[in-house]
């Protein structure tokens, strides 16, 4: 039986990790070319006594929709004997799983390549070139902002207590000189994540990385937020107390996915 932590991690995998595949489809020329003419469905299903857990990807000639429900006949399916094993696979660990849809060889090869590409999200993954560095930072920030919202929606007690006390506030992340930007909106216990610069109001906290290279050690957890601010890797505008607490929740997300 899946534990609460297993189910929370699976929710983050399905709703925050899988969607960043869209970044690779848009910004990685090789991945974009590979999926330009692909149409099909790929499902990730974890078995559990309380009912299966998972989601599926719907590819349509270069476009991707991540659907938070299971379907009966996907073109390709990765089946895990437990929720914990599905989570472990997305954490980069070796696990056994079943594959249904071997006749879709082309789709299988392409999706395995994408799954390998998700390993760039791991804190220990070292980008080999500027494109990988850019993708790591963009995908990580997009994943983290969405994961924080999912942590609240799942009902994490500490996160709920923190968000319930807040009026409408925007927590913004961005990287100077790039298009990388995302935000988390909090209002009276409700949260919503989004991409780009939030334009409707001034951010309550804005964590601005001075470059992609300077963002890497922070997002890899090799430098803590306080040290990063002190050394100029990141400029934090707004409340240091709330920015620090947000950093604590970011570390909690990293721990769940490791």
User: 132 or 243: whose pLDDT is higher?
Assistant: 132
Q: What tens digit of pLDDT does each residue of 115-127 get?
A: 999 989 988 888 9
250 Cβ contact list (under 8 Å, min separation 6): 144, 148
Per-residue pLDDT for 181 more than 80? yes
Q: What tens digit of pLDDT does each residue of 46-101 get?
A: 999 999 999 999 999 989 999 999 999 999 999 999 999 999 999 988 889 999 98
**Portion of the chain with pLDDT greater than 70, in percent:** 98
Using DSSP, state whether 97 is helix, strand or coil.
coil
Cα distances (Å, whole numbers) of residue 224 to 143, 170, 215, 235, 244: 19, 22, 11, 13, 10
Straight-line distance from the first to the last Cα atom of the chain, in angstroms, rounded to the nearest whole number:
20
Among the residue ranges 62-76, 200-214, 221-235, the one predicted with the least confidence is 221-235
Whole-number pLDDT of residue 162: 94
Give one DSSP letter per residue of 187-252, joined into a string: ETTEEEEEES---SS--SEEEEES-HHHHHHHHTTSS-HHHHHHTTSEEEEE-HHHHHHHHHHHHH
Alpha-carbon distance of 98 to 67, in angstroms, equals: 21
Per-residue pLDDT for 144 more than 90? yes
Answer for the pair 53, 80: CB distance below 8 angstroms, yes or no: no
Among the residue ranges 53-62, 227-236, 238-247, the one predicted with the least confidence is 227-236
Question: What six digits make up the tokens of 229?
Answer: 């601010």
Phi, psi values for residue 231, rounded to 5°:
-95, 0
Answer for the pair 79, 100: CB distance below 8 angstroms, yes or no: yes
Query: Domains plus CATH for the chain?
Result: 4-121 (3.30.1050.10), 130-256 (3.30.1050.10)
Q: Closest by alpha carbon to 45, among 20, 70, 64?
A: 70
Residues, the chain: 258
| Apex 207 CA angle, 147 and 212, nearest 5 | 90
pLDDT band at 246 (very low <50, low <70, confident <90, very high): confident
Per-residue pLDDT for 226 more than 70? no
């Amino acid at each position: 039986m899946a534990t609460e932590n297993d189910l929370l991690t699976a929710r983050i995998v399905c709703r925050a990790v899988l969607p960043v595949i869209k970044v690779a489809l848009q910004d990685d020329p090789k991945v974009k070319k590979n999926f330009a003419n692909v149409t099909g469905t790929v499902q990730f299903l974890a078995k559990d006594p309380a009912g299966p857990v998972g989601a599926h990807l719907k590819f349509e000639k270069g476009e991707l929709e991540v659907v938070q429900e299971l379907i009966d006949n996907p073109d390709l399916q990765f089946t895990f004997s437990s929720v914990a094993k599905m989570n472990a696979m997305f954490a980069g660990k070796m696990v056994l799983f079943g594959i249904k849809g071997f006749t879709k060889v082309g789709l299988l090869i392409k999706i395995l390549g994408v799954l390998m590409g998700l390993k760039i999200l791991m804190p220990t993954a070292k980008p080999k070139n500027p494109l990988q560095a850019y993708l790591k930072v963009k995908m990580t920030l997009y994943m983290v902002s969405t994961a924080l919202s999912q942590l609240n929606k799942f009902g994490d007690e500490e996160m709920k207590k923190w968000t319930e006390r807040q009026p409408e506030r925007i927590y913004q992340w961005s990287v100077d000189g790039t298009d990388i930007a995302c935000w988390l909106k909090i209002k009276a216990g409700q949260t919503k994540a989004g991409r780009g610069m939030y334009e409707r109001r001034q951010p309550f906290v804005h964590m601005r990385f001075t470059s992609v290279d300077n963002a890497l050690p922070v997002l890899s957890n090799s430098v803590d937020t306080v040290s990063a601010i002190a050394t100029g890797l990141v400029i934090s505008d707004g409340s240091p107390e709330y920015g620090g607490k947000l950093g604590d929740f970011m570390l909690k997300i990293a721990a769940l996915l490791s």
